[in-house]
Amino acid sequence: MERGFLLVLSGPSGVGKGRVCDALRQTDADILYSISATTRPIRGGEVDGQNYFFLSEEQFLERIEEDAFLEHAHVHGNRYGTPKDFVLRNIDSGKIVILEIDVQGALQVKRNFPNGVFVFLLPPSMKELKRRITDRGTESEQQISLRMNNAREEMGFIEEYDYAVINDDLDRAVESVLSIIAAERLRVIDGRALIDYLEEEVHD
């Protein structure tokens, strides 16, 4: 069975993280999104365990005490976190679990789970990033300026990542990430265990 692992994907707002992740999931059944836990109320049409793991405040705090999250944050009055058991269970079954997350969350994950593969998605230029954000038509000039400043700060952490991919073209960016996945699946983590596995196959 091919090795599974956690793929952490970060990048500034507007760089196209969601589109890259969606395209990756369509290429391989072994690639799936990490499902977050949250204390926010469930919305119409959402399914517990599919969209989110919906927890009460008390349940969430208990899981923090149990060290059950790879990362967690308090955002707009609600708690969000990445459940460790979901990620590990799927990795053990050979899945590539994608966690699309901001830089601060990624650094939390790296401290708690350094075996993850960390990829930073970059725009082809800051001018192009600003154009993409502006073209969405959802932010004021002040908000666009704030997002651009945040992007520059986030890119200052790029050396904390294993790989950088420039999203100048969606297909090329997806191919680059798929190449990373292919290489990481072949990485030797435990050579002795691999040799023992091959020896067992001979004797079966």
Burial track 64-96 (b if 16+ CB lie within 10 A, e otherwise): eeeebbbbbeeeeeebbbbbbebbeebbeeebb
Tens-digit pLDDT profile for residues 16-57: 999 999 999 999 889 999 999 999 999 999 999 999 999 999
Residue predicted with more confidence, 191 or 111: 111
pLDDT at 68 over 70: yes
What CA–CA distance (Å, rounded) separates 41 from 113? 29
Give the per-residue pLDDT at 75.
Answer: 86
Can you tell me the distance from the alpha carbon of 118 to that of 159, in angstroms, rounded to the nearest whole number?
Answer: 10
The predicted-structure confidence for 118-177, as pLDDT tens digits, reads as follows 999 999 999 999 999 999 888 899 999 999 999 999 999 999 999 999 999 999 999 999
CA distance 173 to 47: 31
Please state at what angle helix 170-185 crosses helix 17-27, rounded to 10 degrees: 60
79: region left, alpha or beta (phi > 0 left; psi from -120 to 50 alpha): beta
Residue with tokens 């919305």, as numbered in its chain: 43
Q: Give one DSSP letter per residue of 166-184, joined into a string.
A: E-SSHHHHHHHHHHHHHHH
What's the rounded Cα separation, in Å, for the pair 6 and 85? 12
Q: Which residues contact 134 (CB under 8 A, 6 or more apart)?
A: 144
Whether pLDDT at 190 is above 70: no
Choose the weakest-confidence range: 85-94, 147-156, 189-198.
Answer: 189-198
Say what the pLDDT of residue 139 is.
Answer: 86
Taking a C-beta distance cutoff of 8 angstroms, is the pair 48, 35 a contact? no
